[in-house]
């Protein structure tokens, strides 16, 4: 088989993780045959990659086991048990079909991927020593099913190695998936930019309605430009209709309420680089903004993902880069304080750079796959 391209199966369980998987597939290019299995949602981030089935959007957006009983029961009613059974059946049908399996996400993802091949390469995006260290059952699974663990930061690699896991830090893969800017955004020159991050799951519309309240309060007391980064899961017409339902009007690329205007864009690369401060109810996007040296203000949202528990875990992960607040009013006050204090913005921005680390992991993971194609 030395003259043949290796066959790689990428298993991912999250929207940010899908983006990492897509970046890995792109880096491998024509040096490997790649197939992917996104376990959460439909896998919109994968472009030109063959995807396995079954796939399904669940009401919780993949947070059924980590959310409330209500979201867990909603997932059950929508067929989550049948989906998990189908996923296991699909992966059990793949032993011997691939020369390398890569799992991206949490240890549950690794366990499912191990049905196709074990040991696998594991890209551990979900946990860090900063926020939630791996528990003993997870360590057992890592020792049993992971040939090599790529961690998201150096302290986690050191901790796992001390507990008998083969682990390496080669950069944070989430920093490899921030897209390049597409074009300059139509924003007023010199004005500070507040970036809104409603998340990419089913609760994004609920989150956006509350984020718009933050804009109104901030604009009433300070001059700023507002940009909302829309995920690919949201149609612009749906967003506009939703905003109109709470008193906003459509105005070209903007929604407007009085003198407050919010630019709607899918150009995350430009939006994140133009931002002065972000107000985020998101997972990966919050972390990526922090990783570019921008402070992030957060509060528990009305949906299923960005709960108080999730926010507190993210605050432990990002340190001073994240400003956790109890509600949208306090979030607006935090934004106003940061606008007035450039030294605090700089300090929190530096914390984000340090906690998130550098890009480069995707290249190292691809090299590892190609170096050891046939365990």
Domain boundaries defined on the chain: 7-171+360-371, 193-356
- Among residues of the chain, what percentage have pLDDT more than 90? 81
Is 193-356 a domain of CATH 3.40.50.2000?
yes
pTM of the model: 0.91
**Fold match, 7-171+360-371 / 193-356:** yes
- Give the model's pLDDT for residue 371: 87
Closest CA relative to residue 291, chosen from 306, 308, 275: 275
Q: How confident is the model at residue 164 (pLDDT cuts 50, 70, 90)?
A: very high
- Average the pLDDT over each of 116-120, 259-263, 336-340 and give the range with the smallest value: 116-120
Least confident of 65-69, 81-85, 167-171: 65-69
pLDDT higher than threshold 90 for residue 60: no
> Which band of pLDDT confidence, cut at 50, 70 and 90, is reported for residue 95?
confident
- Percent of the chain past pLDDT 70, that is, above it, reads 93
- Which pLDDT score, from 0 to 100, does residue 47 have? 94
Residues 283-295: what's their mean pLDDT?
97
Cβ atoms of 369 and 8 within 8 Å: the answer is yes
Give the model's pLDDT for residue 81: 86
Stronger pLDDT, 172 or 83, i.e. the higher one: 172
pLDDT of residue 359: 95
Q: Which of 297 and 305 is assigned the larger pLDDT? A: 297
Q: Look at residue 140 in the predicted model and tell me its pLDDT.
A: 98
Q: How distant, in Å, are the alpha carbons of 43, 101, 117 from that of 55?
A: 8, 19, 20
Please give the pLDDT value at position 56.
Answer: 83
Digit-coded pLDDT (tens) for 103-136:
999 999 999 999 998 899 999 999 999 999 999 9
Using one digit for the tens of pLDDT, what is the confidence trace for 195-245?
999 998 778 999 999 999 999 999 999 989 999 999 887 889 999 999 999
**CATH fold of the domain at 7-171+360-371:** Rossmann fold (3.40.50)
pLDDT value of position 303: 83
pLDDT above 80 for 1: no
């Amino acid at each position: 088989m030395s003259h043949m391209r290796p066959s790689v199966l990428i298993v991912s369980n999250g929207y940010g993780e899908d983006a990492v998987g897509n970046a890995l597939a792109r880096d491998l290019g024509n040096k490997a045959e790649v197939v992917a299995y996104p376990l959460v949602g439909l896998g919109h981030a994968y472009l030109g990659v063959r995807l396995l089935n079954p796939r399904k959007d669940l009401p919780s957006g993949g947070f059924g086991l980590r959310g409330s009983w209500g979201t867990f029961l909603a997932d059950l009613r929508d067929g989550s048990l049948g989906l998990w059974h189908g996923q296991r059946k699909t992966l059990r049908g793949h032993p011997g079909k691939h020369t390398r399996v890569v799992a991206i996400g949490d240890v549950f993802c690794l366990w499912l991927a191990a049905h196709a091949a074990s040991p696998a390469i594991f890209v551990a995006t979900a946990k860090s020593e900063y926020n939630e260290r791996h528990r003993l059952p997870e360590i057992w699974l890592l020792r049993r099913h992971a040939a090599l663990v790529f961690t998201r930061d150096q302290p986690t690699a050191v901790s796992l190695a001390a507990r008998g896991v083969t682990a390496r830090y080669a950069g944070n893969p989430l920093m490899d998936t921030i897209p390049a800017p597409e074009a300059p955004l139509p924003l007023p020159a010199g004005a500070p930019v507040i970036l809104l991050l409603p998340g990419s799951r089913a609760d994004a519309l609920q989150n956006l309605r509350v984020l718009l309240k933050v804009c109104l309060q901030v604009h009433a007391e300070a001059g700023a430009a507002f940009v909302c980064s829309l995920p690919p899961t949201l149609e612009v017409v749906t967003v506009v209709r939703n905003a109109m339902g709470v008193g906003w009007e459509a105005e070209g690329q903007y929604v407007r309420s009085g003198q407050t205007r919010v630019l709607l864009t899918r150009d995350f690369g430009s939006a994140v680089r133009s931002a002065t401060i972000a107000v985020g109810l998101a997972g990966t996007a919050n972390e990526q903004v922090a990783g570019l040296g921008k402070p992030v203000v957060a509060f528990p949202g009305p949906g299923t993902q960005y709960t108080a528990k999730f926010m507190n875990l993210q605050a432990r992960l990002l340190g001073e880069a994240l400003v956790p607040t109890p509600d949208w009013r306090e979030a607006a006050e935090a934004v106003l304080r940061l606008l007035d204090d450039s030294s605090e913005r700089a300090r929190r921005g530096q914390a984000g750079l340090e906690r998130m680390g550098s890009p480069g992991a995707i290249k190292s993971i691809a090299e590892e796959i190609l170096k050891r194609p046939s365990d």
